[in-house]
Amino acid sequence: MGMPTLAYRVDSAVPPPGYSTFIVGESSLATTVSFSSFTTTSATAVDSTNSNSTHWSPAHSSTLYRIDNWGAPYFAVNDSGNITVRPHGSSTLSHQEIDLLKVVKKASDPKSVGGLGLQMPLIVRFPDVLKNRLESLQSAFVSAIQTQGYESRYQGVYPVKCNQDRFVVEDIVKFGTPFRFGLEAGSKPELLLAMSCLCKGNPEALLICNGFKDAEYISLALLARKFQFNTVIVLEQEEEVKLVIDISKKLSVRPVIGLRAKLRTKHSGHFGSTSGEKGKFGLTTNHILRVVKDLHDSDMLDCLQLLHFHIGSQIPSTALLQDGVSEAAQIYSELTRLGADMKVIDIGGGLGIDYDGSKSGNSDLSVSYSLEEYASAVVNAIQVVCDRKSVKHPIICSESGRAIVSHHSVLIFEAMSTTDTAPSMNQINLPFIELSEDARSDYWNMSDAVMRHDNETCLFYADQLKQRCVQQFKEGSLGIEQLAAVDGLFDLVTKTIVETEPVRTYLVNLSIFTSIPDFWSIGQIFPIVPIHRLDQKPEVKAILSDLTCDSDGKIDKFIGGEANLPLHKPGNGQYYLGMFLGGAYQEALGGVHNLFGSPSVVTVLQSDGPHSFAITHAMSGPSCADVLRVMQHEPKLMFENLKHRAEEFCGIDAGSCLASTVARSFQNMPYLEPRSSCSLIAMNNSGFYYCNEEDYYAGSETGANKDEHWSYCFA
């Protein structure tokens, strides 16, 4: 006597692996246990927004992905369902909006059809957005200063550690020239970079030298002073003051010195781990007093002109901000009283980004203030303390990096394929002949629970049945076909009862470790959204899995505290996703895990031409040869070894042709190329495959032993 069939009818059903060959023993009973009316324990809609409507509009997608919350005023959805970039923020006119899909198409389409032929993934930079962010920050401080009657000015610097890309730094210097906007460096290479870029900047722009310093660093900073840069050496450790005094005398340079104060105000979030009395950086009050004495004894106390502090990135509220700024202003006033020629208070970084659009002050992903509120809080806190102490209002400097560069860069990558975590099936037949008595008992108990609509009991016996069958398989008494059918049944029960819409895994053409390292390392979450098809309702819950051979290479946390991302079913063409607000730190921190290099890059300016944009700079991502060199391999030597190997085992002619294909691989990017022309479709009489027909015929016509078929070309 057989077991009853558990039926579950869906469209386009696919049987479980091995199911078609699983036909042994007696046939199953005609009795059918239906799952179709089973009560589910989770919501069935991807999102509650307009879930009962048969219509879907771009506005619904904007709400679903919270684009207006985290993206305003730079990102929106147009009537075609594509993400648009508003390069001038709230001042952008409708005809100036840039369709992001059109940019991606222009960058990635083959050159034969007018594209640039760049391989994905792709970073798209918008210098206009960068300019607007810098101007908005400047405007916020100017407004606060004028409104509150503050008697000095704001003069910011950009910390190059956020994104050291040449074009980013050069643009900031160019856009900041009218505002005396400067740069901050935290290492010797960054200092060299900053000095070079500021050659074209405003002569009054500050060059702030932070970070731990040795004699070479200090000498370089003093030479910058000699080159007429407005350089300030900020002391991070007490020992540095003696180096500054000694080297400045040897070089005959009168330095400008700053102190980094270790405040008692502490930021309790993740980014505040270096703040407070036990923080990594800065001088305590005792250290500060000893530095003041050393400078006084060396007749250099007038060189002390700046006070710096930093209470951590992503400061969540203006209350915490004002607390820290007020404490620093007190120290600034005391240094003035002690005889230092104080002129600047550098409030460091901390101006936050609202990554999830929640406007919350209780999360590392958000902040509860605007640019204007931030500037107003800073100006007010300094002014109140200085007025009380009868101290001249200082120049206000900030080192806002994340707030300046985050919005201007968008990472675009493709979803290559998708898999279900649970298969869709019409029905599962389990011939009892292969099952143990205990397993058959679990099956009948599960069937009874189905009839009673007892979800919890059904899941219990389904799990127990699966575990018993796994044990049978390990003991060798159950075949792989039977085990596959049991796995399919368990997935079916779980899918039907627990989650009507299974979460799928989308394979994306990306390395998370290279392009989104903060997600892997500190759990930083960025907005990820399809850049097109937003006029269609997403039908799939998904997580993202990258190309790396690492279990951490996945994204399974999204803004809003969600464990999955609503996506569309893949179509015939490319399906592009965008990661937004990632312009800070991600490129600087990315490595070469699995030897995946950085993405291709294009720079896009708003234009009054027919497409509203112009690509002014394009650079392909590093090739396989490039990333191999990073790890001390020599691609040319590697190729020669492989060429000799091919000729040894495949013959001179065939080996040379095959070596030519290997040479091409050295020059290509490590990422997947979905439209690659490299398909092993041609075969010669010896049975060796060639890359494509062009290679095959070229080899036949010119002779496979010619150098051009295997020579390795490198930049």
Q: Hey, what are 295's tokens?
A: 């400078």
**Same-domain check for residues 301 and 359:** yes
Which residue is catalytic, options 162, 209, 549, 678?
549
**Same-domain check for residues 470 and 363:** no
**Same-domain check for residues 387 and 453:** no
Q: In this structure, is residue 191 part of a structural domain?
A: yes
Q: Could you list the residue range(s) of the whole structural domain that residue 640 is in?
A: 625-673
| Among the listed residues 68, 66, 64, 40, the one whose alpha carbon sits nearest the alpha carbon of residue 50 | 64
Q: Which residues lie closer than 8 Å to 76 by C-beta, 6 or more apart?
A: 62, 67, 68, 83, 84, 86, 97
Distance (Å, whole) CA 689 – CA 377: 69
Phi-psi map region of 665: left, alpha, beta (phi>0 left; psi -120 to 50 alpha) = alpha
Q: In this structure, is residue 378 part of a structural domain?
A: yes
Residue 590 pLDDT class (50, 70, 90 cuts)? confident
Q: Out of 446, 462, 497, pick the residue that ends a domain.
A: 497
Q: What is the structure's pLDDT at 713?
A: 32
Q: In this structure, is residue 7 part of a structural domain?
A: no
**Same-domain check for residues 330 and 434:** no
Distance (Å, whole) CA 62 – CA 71: 10
Q: What is the structure's pLDDT at 18?
A: 34
Q: In this structure, is residue 239 part of a structural domain?
A: yes
Residue 433 pLDDT class (50, 70, 90 cuts)? low
Q: What is the structure's pLDDT at 613?
A: 94
**Same-domain check for residues 374 and 320:** yes
State yes or no: pLDDT of 611 exceeds 80.
no
Q: In this structure, is residue 489 part of a structural domain?
A: yes
**Same-domain check for residues 436 and 392:** no
Residue 266 pLDDT class (50, 70, 90 cuts)? low
Q: In this structure, is residue 14 part of a structural domain?
A: no
Count of structural domains, the chain: 3
Q: Quick: pLDDT tens for 62-97.
A: 999 999 999 999 999 999 999 999 999 999 999 999
State yes or no: pLDDT of 13 exceeds 50.
no
Q: In this structure, is residue 237 part of a structural domain?
A: yes
**Percent share of the chain, pLDDT over 70:** 82
Q: What is the structure's pLDDT at 500?
A: 57
Q: What is the structure's pLDDT at 711?
A: 34
Q: What is the structure's pLDDT at 96?
A: 95
Q: What is the structure's pLDDT at 715?
A: 27
pLDDT-wise least confident of 30-39, 192-201, 467-476, 652-661:
30-39
Residue 14 pLDDT class (50, 70, 90 cuts)? very low
Owner of token pair 């400061």: 315
State yes or no: pLDDT of 49 exceeds 90.
no
More confident residue, 17 or 197: 197
Owner of token pair 């659009």: 357
Do 221 and 230 meet the contact criterion of CB atoms below 8 Å apart? no
State yes or no: pLDDT of 427 exceeds 50.
no
Type of residue at 11: D
How many C-beta neighbours within 10 Å does residue 359 have?
14
Q: Is the peptide bond before 121 cis (omega within 30 degrees of 0)?
A: yes
Look up the pTM and report it.
0.81
**Range 489-509 average pLDDT:** 80
Q: In this structure, is residue 106 part of a structural domain?
A: no
Q: Out of 481, 497, 513, pick the residue that ends a domain.
A: 497
State the chain's mean pLDDT as an integer.
Answer: 84
What b/e string do you get for 441-465 counting C-beta neighbours within 10 Å, with b at 16 or more? ebbebbbebbeeeebeebbebbebb
In DSSP terms, 165 is beta-bridged to none
Q: Which residues lie closer than 8 Å to 88 by C-beta, 6 or more apart?
A: 96, 128, 132, 606
**Same-domain check for residues 146 and 277:** yes
Question: DSSP states of 467-483 as a string?
Answer: HHHHHHHHHTSS-HHHH
**Same-domain check for residues 343 and 232:** yes
Q: What is the structure's pLDDT at 440?
A: 86
In sign, the C-alpha dihedral spanning 648, 653, 656, 657 is: negative
pLDDT-wise least confident of 309-313, 423-427, 535-539, 642-646:
423-427
Q: Out of 464, 497, 530, pick the residue that ends a domain.
A: 497
**Percent share of the chain, pLDDT over 90:** 61
Q: What is the structure's pLDDT at 494?
A: 79
Q: What is the structure's pLDDT at 267?
A: 62
In DSSP terms, 424 is beta-bridged to none
Q: What is the structure's pLDDT at 42?
A: 38
**Same-domain check for residues 397 and 474:** no
pLDDT-wise least confident of 204-213, 591-600, 699-708:
699-708
State yes or no: pLDDT of 276 exceeds 70.
no
**Same-domain check for residues 396 and 475:** no
Q: What is the structure's pLDDT at 333?
A: 97
Do 197 and 173 meet the contact criterion of CB atoms below 8 Å apart? yes
Task: Tell me whether residue 549 is one of the annotated catalytic residues.
Answer: yes
**Same-domain check for residues 337 and 238:** yes
**Same-domain check for residues 356 and 444:** no
Cα 391–Cα 392–Cα 396 angle in degrees, nearest 5: 115
Most confident by average pLDDT, 188-192, 423-427, 443-447, 611-615: 188-192
